[in-house]
Structure 1
Amino acid sequence: MSVNQVPDIVRKTLGLNKRDKIAYIINSDGTVTITRYETSEDDPILDKFLDFLAQDIEQNPQQIQPITSETLVRVQSLVGDMNIDLNAPLSDKDE
């Protein structure tokens, strides 16, 4: 594995900070287009899923049921003693 730093002129042109990422496309003519990698808070798949849920709840309100104590016990048995920090950053392999 080789690790290369982005040249200073490229970082300045793209407005990159130390931990920012780049995106690149290798064109058919052999040239490379480099852009600043922009993360988006919008997730089209998640948005569609949430829209689906909202429509389903609206069309089938009779299906909404409270969580029973039995269901809660079942969920707790499945997750055991797992501790999850939802604010912890993902590792490079998980991104």
Structure 2
Amino acid sequence: MSSIHELATLTSKGQITLPKSIRQALGVDTGGKVAFELRGGEVVVTRAEFEHEDPAIGAFLGLLEADIRAGRHLQSLPDDLVRAMLANAGHAVNLDEEIDGEVAL
């Protein structure tokens, strides 16, 4: 493997953008996961495969995603929710993003 040297700038929120050459070398794209490991004074970045902590929930979410992508089992849901789910299938989700509007539990 050839050596790649790139620089990235840390934002005020502690975020960086992985340079394109690094993303390509790791084989990650939008929504891809990377893992960070601190070894001595160095940080090693590797591609990570995301698995839900609970295998049953992970399997359920996988089946649900496949159904959403295929458009199956969505007849009983409101049309606007179905459209939003289909429009967002395959899009990265930022769980730290602020929620607009009110939330009722």
Q: TM-score scaled to structure 2, two decimals?
A: 0.38
Larger Rg: 1
TM-score if structure 1 supplies the norm length? 0.41
Higher fraction of helix: 1
Q: Relative contact order (alpha carbons < 8 A, sep ≥ 6): 1 or 2 greater?
A: 2
